[in-house]
Structure 1
C-alpha cells in the first residue's frame, strides 16, 4: 500500500514561448514572398504548416533582413518543433538563433527546456541562469530552473526559484503548485498545503493541484479531506489512473477497504500495468475479507523491469555502504518505480532514511516490506529500532517481540526489547530480556552494559558492578560503561576506584563532560589535594564557554559559572523535557558541590531534595541524591 505516496504530479515544464514578432518584417526591406510566408506561418492551422512556412521564410531571409529578424524566425520554428516533440531540431534552431543574437533571453529559456527534455539538466540550468542574467524579472526562467533543481533533488534551491517566480508573477499557479511539491519532498506538509491552496485559488480547474493537496493531507492523516480532493481531481480528469490509485490509498488508510479496492480496480482498468495498484488491491481485499474475483485478474508488468530494478538496487546499496544516503534513496526510488514489489529495496531505503534521522519514512518503508514478507525477523527488528528512536516504546517492544517469535535466537531483539521495557518502567522485564540476549550471545557487551544500568536503578549495586565490569572487559573503549561503573563505585564508597573509572572514561572520550564533572566531585570526596590537582588538569579543557549543557556544568564546578548563571542556562533547553532534566541536574550538581567541595551539608541537601524529579523515569541524579539524603549521617567520606 502506498503510504509513502510517490505519485505526486511532477513539476510541469513552462510551455515554449511561441511569439512571432512581425514588427521586424517591415516592407521597407522585405520581399513580398518573405512577408507572405511569415504571415502564413502566423495564420497556420497546424504545427506542420507553421514549420513549413517558417522554413520557406528562412530560405528567403537574406542579409538585408538583419540577424535579429532571422534569429526570431529560428526561435519561432524551434518553438514549433517543441510542440511536435522534435527536440533535437528545436535545440538546433534555438542555438542558431543565439549565435545570431547572443542577448536573446527567451531563446536561452526555451533551449534550456529542450536540453532538460534531452536529459542534459546541467546544461538546462546554465541556459536558464543566462536567461535570468539577461532579464532579471524573467519569472518563467526562474520557474523552469526550479523544475531542473527539483529533478536533481535540490529542493531548497528549487523552492528559492519558485519563490522568485511568484514574486515577479503573484498569479503564477503552477509555481505555487511546484513549490508545494518541493515542500512535500522535504516533508514540510503544512507549507505544501498552503501552496496547493493558493494554486487552487488561482486555477480551480487543474486536477493536479487537487491531487497534490490530497497527497499532503494524507500525509497528516486527514484522509476524509484527502478523499474529497482526489474525488475533485477525478471529476476534472477521469482518465488519470494515478488519481484513482491515490484515492484508493486514502480510503485504505482510513480503513474503508471496499472503497479502496474499487478505486484500485478502476486504476487497473485504465492502466493494467500499475503493479502497485494490483498489490494494494490484494491487501485491501484481504482486509475487507472479500475474495478476489477471477474477473479482477490483471497482468503484472513485464518481468524485464526487474533487471532495471536490480541494477538500481545494487547501485543504491553501494551508495548506502559509503554513507551517501541521498544518492542511495534516489537509486532505491528508481528500483521501486521499476518493481514496486521489491521488498529488499524498501528495507534498504528505510535504512537510508533512518541514517538521515527520518524515522517516519523509515517506518513506512519497513511496513511496506513487511506487507510483502511478513516472516522477516530483521525487518521487524529494524522497524522496532525506528520506533524506539521516536520514543514509541510500546510499538518498538511489539516489533522486537515479533522478531524473536520468528527467530528465537535474535539476541539484538531481546536486548532492544529490554531497553523498550526499561524506558516504560518495567525494570525486571528489561533485566530478563538482557539475560536472554546474553544466553544467546555471551560476549554481547552492550547487553551487559544495559543490564548493569538496570541493576543500578533497581538498587542492586553489586550486580550492576559485575555487569558493567564485564562490559568493559569485552569492550575496553566503552566510555559510558566506565562512567556508569564510576557512579556505582561512588555509591559503594569506593572513591579511588571511581576516580580511576571517570579518568578511564575521559581517556576513551575526552569530550565526555559528565565524566569530567564526576571526577571533580569524587576528587573532592577523596581529599583537598586530590581535588586541587583534578581542577588543575581539568581547567584547560574548559577555559571557554560552550553551548553544550554538560560543558557548562563542568565550568560551574570549576568556578567559572555562578549558581545563578547555571540555573538560568538550565532554563534554555530545546523542549520541556530537556529543560526539566537540566533544571534537575543544575540542582544536583550545585547540591553535590556544596556537599563535597564547600562542605555545606545543610544547603547541599536542600538542593539535592529539589533535584529529585519524579516525572523523569530512571534519571541517575534521583538515585544518587536519594542515596546522599538517606545515607548514615555518621559515615565519613
Structure 2
C-alpha cells in the first residue's frame, strides 16, 4: 500500500506544477500554502539531433549514391542508415531503409527484426510474427528477435506464447535486469503472485551492480519509487545517460502502475518516459504504443510500406 501511495503521489506532479503556475494569479495564499513544495521529479534535457547524427546521415547518403557497391555492401549501408534514422526518431525513413536492405539482401536477419518492431508498433501483429520468425530462421541465436516477438505477443494478448519467448530471452543472460523485467511483465499477465515470486528469486540469484536492478528493487518493494527517482541524477555522469535512465525508469514505473490498477499514474509516467526523446530505446517505442492503446488510436503507415520480404 505504501508503494502504491508513493507512485500515486509522484504521478500527480504535472497537475501540481500546473496548479503552482496558476497560483500566481490567485489571491493571497496562506502561510501553509506558501511553504508547500511540489513532489520532486527528475528531468533531463530532451535529447536532440546532433551535428554528428546529421553528418553521418549525409555521408551514408553519399556512399549509397555510388555505383560501385555490390548487393551486400548496399544492404549494409541501408541498414546502417536505417539505424541512424531510427535513433533520431525518423521511423518512417528508417523503415524504408530496412525494407531496402532486405531487397538487397533477403537473408538479413537484423533488418527483419527491425521491420517486426515497426509492425508491432503499428499493431500489425501477424506480419510482425512473420518478420521475427524470418529473423530467427536465419539466425537462431539472435536473442533480441525472441524479445521482440515476445513483446509483439504480449501486446497481442497472447501471454502463453509470449512467455515462452521471454523465458528463452531471459535464460540466455539471467544477469540482465531488463530480461528479468520483461519476463515478469509477461508472466504477470497470467499469474501476478507467481510472477512476483519468480522475480524475487531471480533478483536474489542474479542481481549485480548493473543500474537496471534498481528498477527490479522498486518492483519487489526494496526501494521506494520516489527515492529511486531522486537517486537517478546522482548515479549519472551526463545528460544523455540521465535521459536514458529516466526513459527506462518512467516506463517501468508506468507498467508497475498498470499492474496496481492506477491508469492515471501509468499515463503520466509513459509521457515522462517519452519526454526524454530516447527514440531507439524499446521503452520509448512502447511508451508511445501504450498511450495509443489507452486512447484507442493505433499508429498507421502508408500502404506502400507494408512488409515485403522480397
TM-score normalised by L of structure 1: 0.35
Alignment equivalent of 2:162, drawn from 498, 511, 523? 498
1:594 aligned residue:
257
Asked whether 1:517 is paired with 2:181, we answer yes
Q: Within 5 Å, which residues of 2 pair with 1:323-472?
A: 391=53, 392-402=55-65, 405-409=67-71, 410=73, 411-458=75-122, 460-472=124-136
1:18-63, Cα deviation, whole Å (9 max, x unpaired):
xxxxxxxxxxxxxxxxxxxxxxxxxxxxxxxxxxxxxxxxxxxxxx
Cα distance change of structure 1 residues 627 and 532 upon mapping to structure 2, 3 Å threshold: same
Please state if 1:625 is matched with 2:306.
no
Alpha-carbon shift at residue 484 of structure 1 (Å): 1.8
Asked if the contact 1:397–1:420 (Cα under 8 Å) also holds between the matched residues in 2, the reply is no
Matches within 5 A, 1:112-511: 391=53, 392-402=55-65, 405-409=67-71, 410=73, 411-458=75-122, 460-511=124-175
RMSD: 2.9
Deviation at 1:457?
4.5
Q: Which of 571, 583, 608 is the aligned partner of 2:270?
A: 608
For residue 232 of structure 2, what is the aligned residue in structure 1? 570
Q: By how many angstroms is 1:512 displaced? A: 2.8
Q: 1:614 to 1:457 in 2, by over 3 A?
A: farther
Give the 3-state SS of the residue equivalent to 2:84 in structure 1.
helix
Contact kept, 8 Å, 1:513 with 1:551, in 2: the verdict is yes
User: Which consecutive unaligned segments of at least 5 residues does structure 2 have?
Assistant: 1-49, 297-310
Distance 1:566 1:581 in 2: 15
Shift of 1:522: 1.9
Q: What corresponds to 1:97 in structure 2? A: none
Distance 1:431 1:621 in 2: 19
Judged with a 3 Å threshold, the aligned counterparts in structure 2 of structure 1 residues 629 and 450 are, in CA distance, closer, same or farther, namely: closer
1:632 CA drift (Å): 6.1
User: Are 2:121 and 2:286, in contact at CA under 8 Å, matched by a contact in 1?
Assistant: no
Cα distance change, pair 552–396 in 1 and its aligned pair in 2 (3 A): farther
**Take 2:64 and 2:88, find their aligned partners in 1: how far apart are those partners?**
15
CA shift, 1:567, in A, is 0.8
- Displacement of 1:627: 3.8
Runs of 4 or more, structure 1, over 6 Å off, are: none
CA contact 1:477–1:508 (8 Å) conserved in 2 = no
Q: Which residue of 2 aligns with 1:4?
A: none
Are residues 423 and 526 of structure 1, via their aligned partners in 2, closer, same or farther at CA, if it must alter by over 3 Å? same
Structure having the higher Rg: 1
CA distance in 2, matches of 1:482, 1:554: 21
Cα deviation digits, residues 187-238 of structure 1 (max 9, x gap): xxxxxxxxxxxxxxxxxxxxxxxxxxxxxxxxxxxxxxxxxxxxxxxxxxxx
Q: Report how many residues are paired.
A: 242
Deviations 1:457-508 (A, max 9, x none): 4554443332122112221221112112222222211222222222111222
Secondary structure of 2:222's aligned partner: coil
- Distance in structure 2 (CA, Å) of the matches to 1:605 and 1:426: 24
Report how far residue 452 of structure 1 moved.
2.2
Aligned-partner Cα distance in 2 for 1:456–1:574? 33
Q: In the aligned structure 1, how far is the partner of 2:105 from the partner of 2:276?
A: 35
Relative contact order: is structure 1 or structure 2 higher (C-alpha 8 Å, sep ≥ 6)?
2
Unaligned runs of 5+ in 1: 1-387
Which residue is equivalent to 2:248? Answer: 585
1:540 is displaced (CA, Å) by: 2.5
Residue by residue, what CA displacement relative to the aligned partner does 1:393-418 show, whole Å, maximum 9, x if unpaired? 32442354145x31141222222222
The Cα of 1:588 is off from its aligned counterpart by 1.6
CA separation of 1:429 and 1:631: change in aligned 2, threshold 3 A: closer
Question: Given the superposition, is the C-alpha separation of residues 591 and 425 from structure 1 closer, same or farther in structure 2, using an over 3 Å criterion?
Answer: closer
**8 Å contact kept, 2:247–2:278:** no
Q: How far apart in 2 are the matches of 1:584 and 1:493?
A: 24
Equivalent-residue separation in structure 1 for 2:199 and 2:88 (angstroms): 39
CA distance in structure 2 between the aligned counterparts of 1:406 and 1:623, rounded to whole angstroms: 36
Q: Distance in 2 between matches of 1:420 and 1:626?
A: 19
Equivalent-residue separation in structure 1 for 2:144 and 2:159 (angstroms): 18
Distance 1:508 1:400, change over 3 A: farther
3-state secondary structure, aligned to 1:526: coil
Preserved contact between residue 479 and residue 506 of structure 1 (Cα < 8 Å): no
